[in-house]
Amino acid sequence: MTNEAKDRHVLAAAVRAGAHAILTENVKHFPAESRAPYSIDVLTPDQFLAHQFHLNRELLEEKLRGQAKARGVPYEDLVHRLVKWAPSLPKLLLESA
């Protein structure tokens, strides 16, 4: 593993698990040249959730509505809270409704 020393275990686990991507805000610790031999992408939470939206919007909304219900908060409030980690998601979800 040639990525950042303190995060080598993360890349090693992804390789061992056969993962297609690492989900992290810490993109700089996983440069392309360290991931290329293993064909592993790196995605931020925003990129991951936007990708899930485009793959299956209905399923993503169903899961988020279930989380909102379990937390006892309105769906729209939960979606707006996601802006911290996934700034593009609220716009995708609320404007496409």
Helix (H), strand (E) at residue 95? helix 89-95
Can you tell me the distance from the alpha carbon of 46 to that of 24, in angstroms, rounded to the nearest whole number? Answer: 10
Can you tell me the distance from the alpha carbon of 39 to that of 12, in angstroms, rounded to the nearest whole number? Answer: 13
32-49 tens-digit pLDDT: 999 999 999 999 999 999
Instruction: Give the pLDDT of residue 4.
Output: 96
Band of residue 97 on the pLDDT scale cut at 50, 70, 90: low
Please tell me whether residue 18 adopts helix, strand or coil conformation: coil
Q: What is the mean pLDDT of residues 84-92?
A: 90
**In sequence order, what are the residues at sequence separation of 6 or more whose Cβ sits closer than 8 angstroms to the Cβ of residue 60?**
49, 52, 53, 93
